[in-house]
Structure 1
Amino acid sequence: MRAVVTGRIRVLRVVGELNFGGTEMRTAELLPRLAAAGVELHLVTLSDTVGPGPLADLVAGHGGTVTAMPLDVRFPARLLRLLGRLRPDVVHADCANFSGVPLALGALRGVPGRVAHFRGDDNSHRNLRRRVYRSIGERLLRIVATDILGVSPSSLTFGFHPGWRDDPRCQVVLNGLDLDRLHRPSPDDLRALIGASAADLVCVTVGRASPEKRRWLLPPILAALRDRGVSAHAVLVGPGDRADDERVRAAAAAAGVGDRVHLLGPREDVGGLLRQADVVVHPSCLEGLPGGVLEPVALGVGTVAADLPGVRFIGERLPGVTIVDVDAAPQVWARAVDEAAAHTASTTAGVAAARFADSVFAIDRAAAIHLEIYRRSASARPGWGPVSRESSRPPVGSGR
């Protein structure tokens, strides 16, 4: 007999763009679990195109939609129309302080659940315009948000407000990682792909090309390793940008390591590549709870990262993170790379996986908190009730 679902929850999630970034990957990993529990996810991306990413096909496969809605003068009217057509139970916005805008529009349409999600620390210098923008966004969120989430304590402290602990709507929801995805093999032998010998140290960094990721620090670090007698290669994985890529190549040429810096672009086999690394270097100066640190640590790969609150949060809970000052010289990074590589050599993948599965970063914990928030919001809808089925047919998209 056909399954009857009386308590399906409809969520409209607003993200900046669909790309291989942390927000998108964490959403993709949660989706099968949420869909199995009766959540129907519809995505709005604020870029002018849907873009290459892991979510478009996945969302459609679970009965959702992806709508590109660029930020222009028509944005409010377009979002209001979409809200009226979908009638979601929840609007969930991953847009820092700008989240107040889609949540306010959701409030106008009577959406009961309005969730703001802070993904980064936003602890960089702010000019007057940014301070005013943030102040307006914070005040709007205080009025319209029903839940305010952060991927780490610091993301709420720096992204929302230092006094967030006094606001009952605020809570930390840690990013969960899907270990099954990370353990999928890569079709490539990484050393063969980049021309590295068995004796060479392979340093990998994962992240999109943007100024705060500071990918251009990799070549000077390689040069500092060379000065220490260590032959090394740097592998950069993630969506590129012409200007940022050129800056990396120029830094590599200046350091005399042009043949040892490899830009692979976006890859779907990130876990398989990470498992072939000797060390991961994460020089980013702006993060929330960085997946570029959490993913290799979950695999037992030693990781060097800049001293940020989210990095320290991971390092306090899982071994394998070597922290250096944000403004440290390449020579300091090189010494830290030696320490991190020693961790990799002494750690087995099985031990790392078991340790991670018992940690606060397990993906099922994140899924459970999302479901609790969504169900509480949906219960405000008249006639909403628990899921019931007239057959034992498994739910579509269980992903288990």
Structure 2
Amino acid sequence: MEAVDTVVNICDYILNVFTNLIYLILYESSYKNRVPLFFDDPPPPTFRSSTLLKLSVRLKCFGDCLYLLDGRFNQLHTLYVALVNLHRTELSEKEGDLPNLKCFSLSCNLETSHHDEIIFPLLNRMPNLEQLGLYLLIHVDEIFIDGNHLKKNIINRMPRLNQFTFYISSSMFTRNKLNLPSTEDIQRTFIDFPNNEIVSYVDYFPKAERGLCHIYSYPSVMECYSDISNNFPGGLFNYVRMVSLFDEHPFEHEFFLRIVQSFPFMEKLCLINYKPQTCKQFYESNNDNLNLSVIEYSFLSELVIVHVHDDYIEQFLFDTKTYLPYNIILHVNYESLQRVTNYFKRDATRINCAKINKLNLGGESKCSNSLEQYFPYAEISYSIIY
């Protein structure tokens, strides 16, 4: 909270010192270094500018975004907002139109189910918007967000809109639901869409009783790509910094090669998959591990492999399969790590483990000399629940 307060004070200071400020960009290139602005109460009266035209900022919640649009920056024509969360707020009901705003971008990496109540009313306040970017994770009850939804609720209501880029992943529970749409059904809703290239596909996970629909304009400038499965269609995503993988079918070595090729600047990778790799047995039975391409994660700084089968811990820690950069933060289950490293004695995992500088262990774990020696440069922390 102290860092957040400092950011607010710095912004207030900047606005008061640079009284003719036109552009203000409060953004770190690395996602993990970004500290969001957060207002406990309405910002002070000095937090305003009559000259600011363009603002790019990371905020804690949707209410903070509304504070920026309450008239204190009345000449603003371009606003880029990255939110930590998207909770409901009553502030939007009290605000008027934003006729000067021509370009608006909103992103959030946490799922929301309140898009109809907060996002669309905000967009309706922007009658002269020409460029719009939406990068959202949305939970729906009955119908995925598709091309028809975007045309009805956004495009048809914005006559001046000439550029619309987006990444929207909508999820819903599928228990007792019939006639669920296929990928082809979703793709048909974009036949007459104004954008040149739209990627869309649907995943269904029977065990989790969950469905996911990904829709996005391509090429994309999104920074987070969530819940990638084996159905991932590929492509190049130079702006993505955080990736999460989930499937009820195994991820093979070649899949991870596709991931690193599609996301060359990925900084954080989260993985959930309890299915063992099937090709692993083939490689081992043919003594063919040496013929695998070693996958290099050039910019990776954080790896979360807690809810996974042991095969995926091997996938990332075996030096014959993966080349990790130095100074990695690793989140992993202690007992799984113990098995994969053969009680912290295995040579095949020693090189990559020596590159870890923070090791966060979940499950029943205990400190030992062998663990500390195996991770010689790591700050080790323990958590019973992960």
* TM-score normalised by length of structure 1: 0.30
Bigger helix share: 1
| Higher-RCO chain (CA-CA 8 Å, sequence separation at least 6) | 1
The higher radius of gyration belongs to: 2
* TM-score normalised by length of structure 2: 0.31
Bigger strand share: 2
